[in-house]
Amino acid sequence: MITVIPIKKIKNIAPLFDGWDETLIWSCLQGHMGRAWADDADSPSVAQIIIGDLCFFAGNTDIPQARELVRNIPSDHGNSSILMIPKDDSWNGIIEEVYKDRFQKYMRYAIKKEPNVFDKIKLHEYINHLPKEYKIVQIDETLYNLTRSDNWSKDFCSLFPSFADYQKHGLGYAVIYNGKPVCGASSYTYYNSGIEIQIDTLETHRRKGLATACAAKLILECIDRGLYPSWDAANKASVALAEKLGYHFDKEYVTYEITDFH
């Protein structure tokens, strides 16, 4: 049997995730965002963290509760898919057996967390090269509501239940064209000392340097505020953009996209 872990006991699952350099996990363990489950709230052997569209597993896969956790996708999970990320390969067989032909296995790319690697001059240059028909603005309440209403941009602010919450804990910028956002870089999540960046560009406005300029603006603002702008890449294009901005590639890791689970 598995159980929801209350905030007051969240520290009990932390040792299972030791060494996992993932800010979304930190967000949950620090009590800011996400939810957690385990086989036991006081002395857990396996645990699961779900935050947004991502789900993380850690612990001893030899016990039956590991399979229960893999099956545990809450009924209120709003999307038609979820990304499952195991701490080690021992989870892979369980995920593949439980979801059979309902998963796609692929690699994501971890980016090193190095606070002092950014070249501020170069970042300002990227901003200055933004085509003149575009402008970068900070996400305000109007843009908070607007981005959440469109599928391509909804994850800029989707995990912040209100603008007041986003204003307090989040941070982001949008590139505006003809009065509408066409690119954005924003905090998907937050943790004690930083944010996890979510970035995207409307397809018809790609390959114009918009994401580079918008991300540069967000990184500079994070530096000014004493926050770390963490970056995790879903594909090699994202890795290339991260490296252009000053980050360095760390490693690739297995991810399972699960569909048709309701």
The reply to whether 3-109 and 120-246 are identical in fold is yes
The radius of gyration of the chain's CA atoms, rounded to the nearest angstrom, is 19
- Per-residue model confidence (pLDDT) at position 262: 61
CATH of range 120-246; options 3.40.50.150, 2.130.10.10, 3.40.630.30, 1.25.40.20: 3.40.630.30
- Per-residue model confidence (pLDDT) at position 149: 94
Cβ neighbours around 236 below 10 Å, total:
12
Cβ neighbours around 240 below 10 Å, total:
12
Residue pointed to by tokens 């114009």: 208
Structure tokens at 243: 């490296």
* Tens digit of each residue's pLDDT (9 = 90 or more) over 7-48: 999 999 999 999 999 999 999 999 999 999 999 999 999 999
Domain borders along the chain are 3-109, 120-246
pLDDT tens, N- to C-terminus, the chain (262 residues): 999 999 999 999 999 999 999 999 999 999 999 999 999 999 999 999 999 999 999 999 999 999 999 999 999 998 889 999 999 999 999 999 999 999 999 999 999 999 999 999 999 999 999 999 999 999 999 999 999 999 999 999 999 999 999 999 999 999 999 999 999 999 999 999 999 999 999 999 999 999 999 999 999 999 999 999 999 999 999 999 999 999 999 999 999 999 976 6
Query: Under CATH, which number does the domain 3-109 receive?
Result: 3.40.630.110
**C-alpha atoms less than 13 angstroms from C-alpha of 232 in its C-beta half-sphere:** 18
Q: Would strands 54-59 and 81-86 be described as parallel, antiparallel, or unpaired?
A: parallel
Q: Longest C-alpha distance within the chain, in Å? A: 59
- Per-residue model confidence (pLDDT) at position 260: 74
| pTM attached to this predicted model | 0.96
